[in-house]
Amino acid sequence: VANIEILTIGDELVEGRLVDTNAPWLSARLVEAGFQVTHHQSIPDDRDMIIAALRSSAARADALLVSGGLGPTSDDITAEAAARAFDRVLELNQEALDHVVSLFARMGRRMTSNNKKQAWLPAGTTLIPNGRGTATGFCLEGEGTPIYFLPGVPHELEAMFERFVLKALRERFNPEHTLVSSLHTFGLGESKVGSLLEPLTVPSPGRLRVQYRAALPEVHVRLCLSGFDEGDPAGLRTLETVAEEAASRLGRAVFSRQEESLAQTVIRLLKSRGETVATAESCTGGLLGATLTEVPGASAVFMGGIVSYDNRVKRQQLGVPDQLLEQYGAVSEPVTRVLAEQARRRLETTYALAITGIAGPGGGTPNKPIGTVCLGIAAPRGVSTRTVRFPGDRNRVRLFSAYAALEMLRRALIELESSDTGQD
């Protein structure tokens, strides 16, 4: 397996002003594609350090990916250091210059002499086109090792990696063809998901790697299958079989096999049924609505909501009777039931989701400790509520509350789907 190292360059990284997300992003894509990554390094915009790091990594790895230091300012010295590291001259690359010139012309902006600097590259390099910015990427061989230089801006780097670098690496190293299937889950911790899938095997010649990634509060699983040639139908069949097995072991925790977020799944299900949803939020303060409306096109199904943080708002905007608040308290299933019912009625939607809870750090009691959350769903068939207790701090309790409410709706929709199908 070809061993690839990643070097990220920038004072802001080593001084802790910016968290490096390029190295993990590149690694995840490389590992998925059948490569091995054994080393991330971050160093400052310092010529001698860049030279030393390039040389030692090139001597050690089969390929090296470098990001950062290709910008127009004086502290961007990666190209110059690369030339020195491998005894090349720095020369004005006409193709790179044309790119910068045309990009500025397109934006109707004036080019500075700094931007011209970005076209000075080591001799004998192959350009990596950047469709989204002025910094051209390039590739050169250092001590027989291919080194790919990419800008530090994530969306530029990602597009250049996908379109050029990954292809070049595949051609050169011919890694095992890998088929990938995703399962997105909610409701089980990462270690629980891991233990449920632990003895997951595939028949020869298949080989399976299972990758987990916590996208709090979701846990994403990727099944990476190798051992089959590209286009071999046996590979796709084996992947489907193992994905089915994984999905059945994880049960209802799997909400999507299509790389969706939970909110995207819920919105897709609602859209396909032509139904709508409203919210009534207390401890989450609007987080459930915010999560739903992160998804483009949410307006087709999400009508709105009432954030009834204070009890007066619960009474006046959602008609919760005083007597109920006094007898049971705001964080109770009877109150949550009214919130859900009234939000559904007043906002005229198919469904409404309600959340009340004690997110902390204050407000806990022996009967209702911090983390106690009541969730409700109002549907055409009636209202149901439940009480759960989430561990963790205020933000975690709020985040899990919003997702648990979405999950109640998803399960209600799934049950309808399966009963609809049953009737066909």
Site for a copy of itself in 26-65 (CB under 8 A): 26-31, 37-44, 46, 49
User: Do the Cβ atoms of 156 and 132 come closer than 8 Å?
Assistant: yes
107 binds a copy of itself (CB under 8 A): no
370 binds a copy of itself (CB under 8 A): no
**Smallest distance from the beta carbon of 74 to a copy of itself, in angstroms?**
14
**Smallest distance from the beta carbon of 368 to a copy of itself, in angstroms?**
15
Q: Which helix (H) or strand (E) holds 383?
A: strand 382-389
350 binds a copy of itself (CB under 8 A): no
Stretch touching a copy of itself by CB under 8 A, among 118-126, 267-275, 298-306, 384-392: 298-306
Q: Which helix (H) or strand (E) holds 258?
A: none
Stretch touching a copy of itself by CB under 8 A, among 110-118, 174-182, 267-275, 354-362: 354-362
315-344 residues in contact with a copy of itself (CB under 8 A) are 316-317
Of the candidates 20, 111, 121, the one whose C-alpha atom is nearest the C-alpha of residue 77 is: 121
Provide the sign of the torsion angle of the four alpha carbons 182, 186, 189, 192, taken in this order: negative
* CA 42 from centre of chain: 23
Applying CB under 8 A, which of residues 131, 189, 251, 297 lies at the interface with a copy of itself?
297
Burial of 32 (0-12, 13-18, 19+ CB in 10 A): middle
Q: Which helix (H) or strand (E) holds 46?
A: none
361 binds a copy of itself (CB under 8 A): yes
Looking at beta carbons only, is 181 or 308 nearer to a copy of itself? 308
Residue with tokens 């595939």: 202
Looking at beta carbons only, is 312 or 389 nearer to a copy of itself? 312
190-229 residues in contact with a copy of itself (CB under 8 A) are 211-214
Q: How many residues bind a copy of itself (CB under 8 A)?
A: 72
Tell me: cis bond preceding 199? Omega within 30 of 0 counts.
Answer: no
38 vs 20, 184, 190, CA distance in Å? 16, 26, 23
Token pair in block for residue 160: 């250049």
**Smallest distance from the beta carbon of 375 to a copy of itself, in angstroms?**
16
Applying CB under 8 A, which of residues 180, 346, 364, 416 lies at the interface with a copy of itself?
346
Looking at beta carbons only, is 140 or 250 nearer to a copy of itself? 250
**Smallest distance from the beta carbon of 314 to a copy of itself, in angstroms?**
8
**Smallest distance from the beta carbon of 91 to a copy of itself, in angstroms?**
30
Provide the sign of the torsion angle of the four alpha carbons 35, 36, 42, 43, taken in this order: negative
Compute the distance between CA of residue 135 and CA of residue 63 in angstroms, rounded to an integer. Answer: 21
381 binds a copy of itself (CB under 8 A): no
Token pair in block for residue 184: 């997105």
259 binds a copy of itself (CB under 8 A): no
In sequence order, what are the beta bridge partners of 138?
A: 127, 149
Looking at beta carbons only, is 13 or 412 nearer to a copy of itself? 13
**Smallest distance from the beta carbon of 325 to a copy of itself, in angstroms?**
14
Compute the distance between CA of residue 289 and CA of residue 133 in angstroms, rounded to an integer. Answer: 34
Helices (H), 108-186: 113-117, 154-160, 166-173
Q: What are phi and psi of 63, to 5 degrees?
A: -155, 155
Applying CB under 8 A, which of residues 252, 312, 386, 389 lies at the interface with a copy of itself?
312
Applying CB under 8 A, which of residues 93, 181, 261, 308 lies at the interface with a copy of itself?
308
